[in-house]
Amino acid sequence: MSNSAGITAMRAPLGLIGLGAAAVLLILSGVAFGSSWIPLEQVAAVILGAGDKTQQLIVLQLRLPRVVIAVLAGGGMALAGFLLQKVTRNSLASPGVLGVVDGAALGVVIFLALLSDTANALVVSIAYQPLAAAIGAFAAIALVFLLAGRQASSAIRLLLFGIAVAAVAKAITMVLMLIGPIYRTTQAARWIAGAVNEINWGEIQITAIAMVPAILLVLLVARMLPPTDLDETSARGVGLNLPVFRILIFALAAALTAISVAFVGGVGFIGLMAPHLARLIIGRNVYAGLVASFLLGAIMLVGADLVVRVAFAPVEVPAGTVTAIIGAPYFLFLLMRKDRQNG
């Protein structure tokens, strides 16, 4: 790592510009690629209002929404991961550890199990599934905090409560999936693996409405993040009440995760990897780190979705495949090197 002041100062802005460019490129590719390839100039034309009807339909109603939800969900998970890693001072923390995703999965499975008739068709629109996921996620968060009580101020205790709740949720999910027939099981399994599905603008609106206040909150608390690098006493010394702040951040991260997984399911490892890569690229600056994490999360999910659409068409392999396959070796690599932070 260079210690020259000039390069250090330029690192964050340069990195962000690079990431932004990569994001735009991937978004455009995500729209251009699919069962039919639409050249980039025509994509641009459609977005600007021109282009022929079929292309308009494909781009605006099918592909663009899908890419947009991937950006939002991927970015949201990445932010959640960034916050969790900062506040637990541990690079192994990720949104999956709080039991949120398992709670959401349970919500989905209960939804599918309760609201199917004997012919295994859903009696309500599948559009309600994300709502079930969100409810399950929030119920899990609430349960974890409720059970933890005063112990919530300790990172590891909170994680342990999360694990216990997650285990129970997973077990019940498993039983429900077994009782039900294959249709529901496949549906649920696909959700659990994490997949970017066809989505309409109305649903994106819902996600955006939920996501925007969350992101605003993140920006607000961002300036309180630097002292989290310190031990608890010193942090208190400069005026940050770490235990209380930690609870707030956990709740915020859980909320972001819940919103993100509602529509795309339990896409793994984005929340784990994105903050790391952000740190590698732009360094320690908190604000730059947040933006970079969001961009990287978006890039990862859009990219993963792109890969599965192109490589596995017409089979609908969930995007979670790719993130898991990349995430696994990366996680192992993470574990191998000496952790320079605490624990």
Instruction: Return the closest-CA partner of residue 16 out of 273, 285, 270.
Output: 285
Q: Which of residues 257-286 bind other proteins (CB under 8 A)?
A: 266, 268-269, 272, 284
Three-class SS state of 284: coil
The one segment of 30-38, 59-67, 159-167, 254-262 that binds other proteins by CB under 8 A: 159-167
CA distance linking residue 67 with residue 301, whole number of Å: 9
Q: Which is nearer to other proteins, 172 or 247 (CB)?
A: 172
For other proteins, the closer of residues 30 and 95 by Cβ is 95
DSSP per residue over 200-230, as a string? -HHHHHHHHHHHHHHHHHHHHHHTTSGGGGS
SS3 167: helix
Q: Which stretch binds other proteins (CB under 8 A): 75-83, 134-142, 165-173, 205-213?
A: 165-173
Q: How far is the CB of 9 from other proteins (least distance, A)?
A: 11
Give min distance, CB of 18 to other proteins, in A.
22
Rule CB under 8 A: is residue 10 a binding residue for other proteins?
no
Of the candidates 300, 266, 272, the residue with the CA atom closest to the CA atom of residue 81 = 272
Please give the Cα distance from 82 to 42 (Å, whole number). Answer: 37
Amino acid at 11: R
Lookup: tokens for 324: 């898991």
Quote the CA–CA distance of 261 and 14 in Å, as a whole number. Answer: 31
Select from 217, 248, 324, 326 the one that contacts other proteins (CB under 8 A).
Answer: 324
Q: Least Å distance between CB 317 and other proteins?
A: 6
The verdict on 110 binding other proteins (CB under 8 A) reads no
Specify the residue, 41 or 339, whose C-beta has the smaller distance to other proteins. Answer: 339
Among 106, 108, 155, 301, binds other proteins (CB under 8 A): 155
Q: Of residues 189-248, which lie at the interface with other proteins (CB under 8 A)?
A: 189-190, 192-194, 223, 226-227, 229-231, 233-234, 236-241
From candidates 15, 30, 75, 96, binder to other proteins by CB under 8 A: 96
In contact, 81 and 272? CB cutoff 8 Å? yes
Q: Which of residues 61-90 bind other proteins (CB under 8 A)?
A: 88-90
Residue pair 99/145 in contact by the 8 Å Cβ criterion: no
